[in-house]
Amino acid sequence: MTAFRAGASFAENGKVQVDGNASVVDKVTPTVRMLLDKETPARAMAGEDVQLSYAVEWIEAQAEEANAELTRQAAAGWAVTLAALMGLAIWFGRG
């Protein structure tokens, strides 16, 4: 799901931020820049919303990266838990 804000962001001086000048004063700059290559204009002229496509691909890549990190953390957590259990088993096995 994607959503676009309806409204304007204002700078301290009350100026709409997207109306900034080339020095990027009072302007919202993109955090993620879209690749512009030879195929981009052709895709847009064919009717594709290339910005939306790029945004969806970027979001999916972020989700995959986050899931991979969670999997690594979970695996590390299980390794610590198993090592602790094995230590307990050895300790109580001495008895």
The backbone region for 6, taken as left when phi is positive above 0, alpha when psi lies in -120 to 50, beta otherwise, is beta
Where are the alpha helices (H) located in 18-49, listed in sequence order?
Answer: 39-45
pTM here is 0.46
pLDDT digits (tens, 9 = 90+) for 24-72: 565 556 677 777 888 888 888 899 988 889 888 888 998 888 888 888 8
* Residue-range domain boundaries for the chain: 8-37, 49-93
